[in-house]
Structure 1
Amino acid sequence: MKNMGLNEIREKYLSFFESKGHLRRQSAPLVPINDDSLLLINSGMAPLKSYFTGDEMPPSKRMTTCQKCIRTPDIDNVGKTARHGTFFEMLGNFSFGDYFKEEAIEWAWEFVTEVMEIPEELLYVSIYEEDDEAYEIWNKKVGLPPDKIVRLGKKDNFWEHGLGPCGPCSEIYFDRGEKHGCDNPDCAVGCECDRYIEFWNLVFTQFDKDEQGNYNLLENPNIDTGMGLERMATIMQDVGTIFEVDTIKHVLDCVCSLAGVKYKEDNKLDISIRVVTDHIRSVSFMIGDGVLPSNEGRGYVLRRLLRRAARHGKLLGIEGIFLSQLSKEVEKMSGEAYPELTEKKDYIAKIIRIEEEKFQETIDQGLMILEEEIEKMKQSNQKILTGEAAFRLYDTFGFPLDLTKDILQESGFDVDEDMFHEEMKKQKERARKARSEKEIGAWGEDPFSFLSEDALTEFVGYTHLEDVGKVMGIVLDGGSTQNAEEGDQVIFVLDKTPFYAESGGQVGDKGTVENDSCLVEITDCKKGSLGRHIHHGKVLKGSLTLGDMVTCKVDKTHRMSVARNHTATHLLHKALKEVLGSHVEQAGSLVDSTKFRFDFNHFEKVTSEELAQVEKNVNAAIQKAMKVEKFETDIATAKKMGATALFGEKYSEQVRVVKIADYSMELCGGTHLDNISQIGLFKIVSEGGVASGIRRIEGVTGINTLAYVENLENNVKQTSAMLKCSAENIQQRIEDLFAANKALEKELAALKQQLNKNAADEFMNDVVEIGGFNYLGIEVSGMEMDDIRDLADGLRDKLSGIVLVASDANGKVNIVSMGTKDAVKRGFHAGKLVKEVASITGGGGGGRPDMAQAGGKDPSKIQEALKKAQEILKDQLV
């Protein structure tokens, strides 16, 4: 058994199963594609779920992958133990109705014993207690003696996830020796100690669990295996934990170097070292797959991991921004296997740096809030910070609980951890509920599941806008039916169609389906299982019947308008890279017949000058009248040609390439123009932010540009009429009006100042003495905050003492208090005064000792508040 690096193990595994007729596929992105039931990919089979369910045809009945995975349920334990981690790689070999238990077991044994050369005496297996078939294969075919085969119950060796496909499994264990065992004389496979390490799970998906709880045999059983790559590496490298595996240890050593510490010398420091090491791997891969920091969903997971890593870096004594530097070390170790890390290494580092800088700002804000909470506890003689307050610091400012505890303990306080975790639990339940409302279930629903697997749709719409198809299935009011009558809203599937089904951000085609017996208006077309095109429409005449041959006619005007906008987004994508930088990547789009919407990664507002240049570049390209080529090839060839694959799209082995001369080349299944000159004119209508790091451009093309310009022209005409000037003089007219308005404001301010001076003279008769200082508390009517602030300022200077002014303005209370420096020295505090006074009027506020303002809701309480103010002042000016 020789020492083997993690990258070497990965390659040996994938090559081995390629030699067994498996198609090797690259890891899917960590962001699930067309699957709302998962936040992040957490297993090798998750991206292949549609192949297991039959919703899609797999490119091969045998596949093998090494899948990037993120699991976060135990995030709080990461670092505290050397076993927990959030990022891992899962090796797997899969059969979709091809081979079954015998091949899966024999190949697993061959790989482990012959390729990995692990001694047979150190290997054990477990099986489901009722799976005699697996026992026979292990015992009779492989030759394992009975004492090497352990039967375990359903909890350990039966895989199921709700309803749908499920089955027994068999796991392979490595015996690490007695030194890793426990004191239990019966210690064996299944024990909780560290002696027997499970590294490969073979799942035999042979049942279909129905709603009655019955386990029905699948006609075509499947194989789904999963081997933890890091776990296998710990075995091959004879190390204790995943943090000592070569590729991970490289990152760990870099963390130690930055911090100037050594691993395994201080348990507390080791926790932080492991947290930073694990989390930087996770965030690097997540950002590489398009996840951006945010306050919800997977973006929140990323932000939490990143901030947790930053915090533990500070605990290690690392100064300044450092995580972006570590992300490049992750790329060094994993970039060859995952080229997206290399292609985007500068982009990944930039996102991490920006988020880390933001955290520095928020952590300072959180410290201020925590100091205020500590001050409150001192005043109220409390010793424990409420769990709600601690959770608010965590949720709003990303303030980790351990940081809150450390700071509190320095001042002799503690925190209600039970309540904190209760609040955390409530938030998780809210998030889970919100997600479950959108989930379609683990295995999904298909309105045409009653059709056989060979009932597929042939799409001919790239070359034909009219063709004949046969009606294979009709669904009315949620159920299968033989026909649909006049007036019915119906969905149906044809064996052949020219109607494009909504996908890739492009809306579905519209048009008609007809024959001598019926006319159906098609309002939309969407994709179903196995790529079937589901036509949505209304029967306008006659009856649509199962088995009918019908003529399909796509609305040419609608299709052409959509194609203009779609081709324009390809030009826009290229222009954005030219103007803003190569980091720009498409993050979503919507293309219909009236407009386009294009989302992209960028971390600041696009300036008006940049936007103008983008628009200019696109229109300049359109003027060159470049030809648009559309062709199919295999995905490897397309990528070699330089075709851009869009994040979030799921590509098959055969892909469609859209090439615009030498200007742009993307993988795209949408409908496009033949020449970009058909776009006519391209106009950006708006640009703005839609999420953290995501910008959105909306625009129009062709005839819709004319409509947009006509609307602008009408607005200009109406504006010039209101301003009583020509369209050419609108700007000058507005500048003149601004200048006149500014002069009036200046004149008004001077009049207000004079009025305030006069008012100050009138109010001087109401001055009283409190604690040796002149005090004036008055109520005025109809004055806004700025006005009473000016009035209070003048009164304070005139009487050289303390002023409190309250105003009833449109049913709202405004309060301002000011005092001289000598009054502050004697104990006067304007902030505390207005806070107590405002509470009487149903409001609040605060500020500095010499000046503060507040608001209230009940003007009828102003006089009561003014009386209370005198009592407060007497206490302050002792």
Structure 2
Amino acid sequence: MGVERTISVLNGKKDAFDNELFYPLFAKIEELSGKKYGSYNAPQPPLKLRGGEDLNPSQPPLKKGGEEKGDLQKEGEIPPNLLLQKGEETIRAMRIIADHIKAATFILGDEKGLTPSNVGAGYVLRRLIRRAVRYGKQIGINQIFTFKIAEEVVKIYQDTYAELRKNKEFIINQLVNEEEKFLKTLEKGLVVLGRRLEAQIGVKGQPYTPHEVRLIHGPDNIQMWDDVPHIITGKWLFDFYQTLGFPPELVIEELKTKDYYFSQKDIDNLFSEFNKELKKHQELSRTASAGMFKGGLADASEATVKYHTAAHLMLAALRQVLGEHVTQKGSNITPERLRFDFSHLAKMTPEEIKKVEDLVNEQIQKNLPVVCEEIDLEEVKAKGATGVFGSKYGERVKVYTVGPSTHSTSSGQVRLGSAFSREICGGPHVERTGVLGKFKIKKEESSSAGVRRIKAILE
């Protein structure tokens, strides 16, 4: 049982959101939206058709004695969004915003350095943020706001989870960047979705919704309702996401707000087709890198191994210059150069680039030893090693340490200073940094949202 639910139970509450950990988040959302938790707008006028005739909202979607039709709803049932009473839409929206941004804050604050992306855990993070943004728009928040909720989350939890305080700037920057990016495509995406519905249903202007059809004609004329799964296909959802970054879950939710109902079977089928298209796309992407050696190395030649060690030095330097939020996001290393992707929002300044170069070259000039040790994974974090801790490692892992320097005495080797770099890595690496030559960054550019790319050489 989670902390929030536990606190609610201990205070005799039946609602997991009814506790002091969520109250400040709801207060901030109220301030931003101008609405009260549980409030509602003025009652909407009676539902009318385009011709002007009234639809009786009290009439059940199915007539008395109607039968369940295939996967359609049972007698008297209506789409979930139509069941919401006064104020429930606002309550639900605020809960989604608070819950999702709290989760996103903790994910971004973690030492893994995860950022929103189109794959894996990064995709889950992106969906959380974008869903919160969409619900923010629905309750009238017309500004960049997710970072303001995150600030409240940090205030609440920072004494217990120190990494939230430590990574606060990174959390805020990532949220602002992702929200700005999504808002640019949101309006366009809704227009495209509306056109898709209009074109497929074949009605000019605003099409009738399935709920309208049921109210007018009853269950025997519900072809449009049955056609909804064919209007939006899994392949179309995938193409829509690839083009506009509109998560498929949001498409389904948008349709529900327009009273289009999907059974769970329909949703399962849509996502099955969506995932097949995604898998196809991923397999095509992998083809380009099919010949790559483990760890992004093209081969295990002497020159490539040197660049591999230089990449370790560069990552350590980047973390010193830009901050500890920097983590490796990918690499491609050949005998001619290294290409390295890392988490960071802003373009590096010439001064920052020079600092990184100087730090790396300083370690090369020191001719530091590169030592490999095999240790238990549980000990890795205690030793301060970096790594992709979301990856699947064995119980014991290889850790390469660059430095500290050593000095021979009559009693043996004595270590001087702390390690410059310590990473989980399968190797291979050079034995000492002095063989690398001069390190030079040739280009720094954007790779994707929240990810920068460096191309560097050894002279």
The TM-score, its normalising length taken from structure 1, stands at 0.34
Q: Secondary structure at the match of 1:276?
A: helix
- The CA distance in 1 between the partners of 2:11 and 2:94, in whole Å, is 21
- The CA distance in 1 between the partners of 2:28 and 2:204, in whole Å, is 47
- The CA distance in 2 between the partners of 1:421 and 1:294, in whole Å, is 28
AA aligned opposite 1:361:
K
Query: 1:306 matched to which residue of 2?
Result: 129
AA aligned opposite 1:567:
T
Residue 273 of structure 1 pairs with residue 100 of structure 2: no
AA aligned opposite 1:568:
A
Residue 380 of structure 1 pairs with residue 197 of structure 2: no
Query: 2:403 matched to which residue of 1?
Result: 660
Deviation at 1:384, TM superposition (A): 3.9
Query: 2:454 matched to which residue of 1?
Result: 697
- The CA distance in 2 between the partners of 1:422 and 1:321, in whole Å, is 34
Deviation at 1:299, TM superposition (A): 3.3
Cα contact 1:506–1:592 (8 A) shared by 2: yes
- The CA distance in 1 between the partners of 2:101 and 2:8, in whole Å, is 20
CA deviation string 1:641-676 (max 9, x = no partner)? 755455445485898461434572323344544432
Deviation at 1:415, TM superposition (A): 6.7
Query: 1:584 matched to which residue of 2?
Result: 326
Query: 1:326 matched to which residue of 2?
Result: 149
Question: Which residue, out of 571, 575, 583, partners 2:313?
Answer: 571
Query: 1:243 matched to which residue of 2?
Result: 17
Gaps of 5+ in 2: 40-86, 210-226, 284-292, 405-417
AA aligned opposite 1:667:
E
- The CA distance in 2 between the partners of 1:638 and 1:302, in whole Å, is 26
CA deviation string 1:40-77 (max 9, x = no partner)? xxxxxxxxxxxxxxxxxxxxxxxxxxxxxxxxxxxxxx
Structure-2 change in CA distance of 1:307 and 1:589 (3 Å): same
Residue 294 of structure 1 pairs with residue 117 of structure 2: yes
Deviation at 1:228, TM superposition (A): 5.2
Cα contact 1:334–1:341 (8 A) shared by 2: yes
- The CA distance in 2 between the partners of 1:370 and 1:618, in whole Å, is 50
AA aligned opposite 1:570:
H
Structure-2 change in CA distance of 1:427 and 1:248 (3 Å): same
CA deviation string 1:463-485 (max 9, x = no partner)? xxxxxxxxxxxxxxxxxxxxxxx
Q: Secondary structure at the match of 1:243?
A: coil
Which structure dedicates a bigger proportion of its chain to helix? 2
- The CA distance in 1 between the partners of 2:295 and 2:193, in whole Å, is 47
- The CA distance in 2 between the partners of 1:605 and 1:367, in whole Å, is 31
CA deviation string 1:550-584 (max 9, x = no partner)? xxxxxxxx4x5454223211221133345555542
Deviation at 1:369, TM superposition (A): 4.5
The TM-score, its normalising length taken from structure 2, stands at 0.61
Deviation at 1:236, TM superposition (A): 3.0
CA RMSD of aligned residues (A): 4.6
CA deviation string 1:662-693 (max 9, x = no partner)? 57232334454443212123344665544432
CA deviation string 1:374-409 (max 9, x = no partner)? 998999366248964797697436365655776xxx
Which residues in structure 2 correspond to 1:750-789 (within 5 Å)? none
- The CA distance in 1 between the partners of 2:88 and 2:333, in whole Å, is 55
Deviation at 1:346, TM superposition (A): 1.3
Query: 1:363 matched to which residue of 2?
Result: 186
Which residues in structure 2 correspond to 1:669-818 (within 5 Å)? 669=425, 670-684=427-441, 687-701=444-458, 705=459
Which residues in structure 2 correspond to 1:30-49 (within 5 Å)? none
Query: 2:273 matched to which residue of 1?
Result: 429
Deviation at 1:248, TM superposition (A): 3.8
Deviation at 1:253, TM superposition (A): 4.0
Q: Secondary structure at the match of 2:421?
A: strand
679-688 or 391-400, larger mean C-alpha shift:
391-400
Cα contact 2:105–2:153 (8 A) shared by 1: yes
The percent of aligned pairs where both chains have the same amino acid is 31
AA aligned opposite 1:680:
G
Cα contact 1:634–1:654 (8 A) shared by 2: yes
Structure-2 change in CA distance of 1:253 and 1:239 (3 Å): farther
- The CA distance in 2 between the partners of 1:306 and 1:340, in whole Å, is 20
Q: Secondary structure at the match of 2:340?
A: strand
Which residues in structure 2 correspond to 1:478-627 (within 5 Å)? 558=301, 561=303, 563-577=305-319, 580-589=322-331, 595-604=337-346, 614-615=356-357, 617-627=359-369
Deviation at 1:428, TM superposition (A): 4.0
Deviation at 1:320, TM superposition (A): 1.3
AA aligned opposite 1:267:
E
- The CA distance in 2 between the partners of 1:437 and 1:367, in whole Å, is 24
Q: Secondary structure at the match of 1:279?
A: helix
Q: Secondary structure at the match of 2:17?
A: helix
Cα contact 2:374–2:396 (8 A) shared by 1: no
Structure-2 change in CA distance of 1:428 and 1:610 (3 Å): farther
Cα contact 1:243–1:252 (8 A) shared by 2: no
Query: 2:105 matched to which residue of 1?
Result: 284
Structure-2 change in CA distance of 1:594 and 1:347 (3 Å): same
Q: Secondary structure at the match of 2:342?
A: strand
Cα contact 2:154–2:164 (8 A) shared by 1: yes
Cα contact 1:599–1:695 (8 A) shared by 2: yes
Deviation at 1:240, TM superposition (A): 0.9
- The CA distance in 1 between the partners of 2:307 and 2:142, in whole Å, is 49
Query: 2:168 matched to which residue of 1?
Result: 345
Instruction: Give aligned pairs, total.
Output: 358
Gaps of 5+ in 1: 1-226, 407-413, 440-501, 510-557, 706-878
Which residues in structure 2 correspond to 1:178-189 (within 5 Å)? none
Deviation at 1:276, TM superposition (A): 0.5
Q: Which aligned runs of 4 or more in structure 1 are off by greater than 6 angstroms?
A: 370-379, 389-394, 436-439, 506-509, 631-638
Query: For the pair shown, which has the larger CA radius of gyration, 1 or 2?
Result: 1
Structure-2 change in CA distance of 1:296 and 1:425 (3 Å): farther
Cα contact 1:687–1:698 (8 A) shared by 2: yes
Deviation at 1:268, TM superposition (A): 2.0
AA aligned opposite 1:362:
T
Deviation at 1:311, TM superposition (A): 2.1
| Larger RCO (CA within 8 A; separation ≥ 6) | 2
Cα contact 1:682–1:700 (8 A) shared by 2: yes
- The CA distance in 1 between the partners of 2:99 and 2:305, in whole Å, is 45
Structure-2 change in CA distance of 1:382 and 1:680 (3 Å): closer
Q: Secondary structure at the match of 2:144?
A: coil
Deviation at 1:251, TM superposition (A): 3.1
AA aligned opposite 2:452:
R
CA deviation string 1:517-540 (max 9, x = no partner)? xxxxxxxxxxxxxxxxxxxxxxxx
Cα contact 1:562–1:593 (8 A) shared by 2: yes
Cα contact 1:684–1:697 (8 A) shared by 2: yes
Structure-2 change in CA distance of 1:651 and 1:331 (3 Å): farther
AA aligned opposite 1:239:
K
Cα contact 2:167–2:325 (8 A) shared by 1: yes
- The CA distance in 2 between the partners of 1:382 and 1:332, in whole Å, is 46
Q: Secondary structure at the match of 1:244?
A: coil
AA aligned opposite 1:277:
A
